[in-house]
Amino acid sequence: MFEHNDPNRIQLNSNGQLRHFLTTEGLSRELLTEILDTADSFVDMGAKQIKKVPLLRGRTVVNLFFEASTRTLSTFELAAKRLSADVLNLNISTSSTSKGETLKDTLMTLEAMHSDMFVVRHADSGAAHFIASQVTPHVAVINAGDGRHAHPTQAMLDMLTIRRHKGSFEPLTFAIVGDILHSRVARSQIHALRTLGASEIRVIAPKTLLPRHIEAMGVKVFTDMRQGLKDVDVIMMLRLQKERMTSALLPSESEFYKLYGMTTEKLAYARPDAVVMHPGPINRGVEIESAIADGPRSLILDQVTNGIAVRMAVMSMAMSGQMVEKQLQQSAPAAN
């Protein structure tokens, strides 16, 4: 387990611009809105004949995934390539770290290859923050998910999807449903929603899947779907993260689906125009029924599309922030 206190001490440059993207916690409304606005400009790029812009031309992006992930890895790779970067996907299971090389040694080796950005996914909370504190100043670090701590780009692609379908956040009531206890996505979503001014945020789960003192994050807690979904505008479903469960927290998957799975019947508790989201991968018949996942009120595929745009935005903004910081440092001696 890594320490991850005060991430904004290294997450922002001296001008307040993004130089790493480690968490949504503590970032200003203005900066989150800038990420969304920048991503908005990239959303339609996939429909164009030429799908590239030269913002990261000549830069090398290393996808440093210590955890397996198809969707997140592929969207980061595609985002980097659409920004014209060179991309290296590092298979950690066959890398030197499995032969005893320390993480710091691996980072130094990759830096010696003149890498410019590390996209990091790790099973331990705080890993991305640790890496950002260790790399040389010219390298940007993007957190692609660390333990139970944070998954900031997933939260921001969710925010972009909501804004494009619902407009302003202020009048909306949100419900996050499922395995809150193990979800880094839920934590990042809650921080982003609070900062962007959501009217109300609810979490709905059995008591065994709720973190202690979750109310301190500014959410309302429900253990009953009927009560929790009443008058909700946006429903965010979460998957059961069985790989992180160290004990039997549920009677069975079928019992969970009966009480907390998103079905047509349960969706009727929410507002008539409520939309349903899911960060994926989807477990049909466990968290959500196919009629909802594939239905007209599902935004799941929109989330995937918007994920590429958000990751392009974050990568381009972080690299720009690194360049500005480097220029400030170079000009500092001359100013004295």
Which residues sit in the known binding site for carbamoyl phosphate? 71-72, 121, 151, 154, 280-281
Which tokens sit at 207?
A: 């008591």
Superfamily of segment(s) 152-298: Aspartate/ornithine carbamoyltransferase (3.40.50.1370)
Distances (CA, A) of 198 to 96, 177, 220, 298, 318: 45, 17, 13, 20, 26
pLDDT tens for each residue of 89-126: 987 755 545 544 577 788 888 888 889 999 999 988 89
pLDDT tens for each residue of 279-305: 988 889 999 999 999 999 999 999 999
Per-chain mean pLDDT for the chain = 89
Going 159 to 164 to 166 to 167, the CA torsion angle's sign is: positive
Q: Which CATH class is domain 8-151+304-335?
A: alpha beta
Which residues sit in the known binding site? 71-72, 99, 121, 151, 154, 184, 239, 280-281
Residues of the chain with CATH 3.40.50.1370: 8-151+304-335, 152-298
For the whole model, what pTM was predicted? 0.91
Which residues sit in the known binding site for L-aspartate? 99, 184, 239
Report pLDDT for 248: 45
Task: Judge whether 181 and 209 are in contact, CB under 8 Å.
Answer: yes
Coil, helix or strand at residue 201: strand
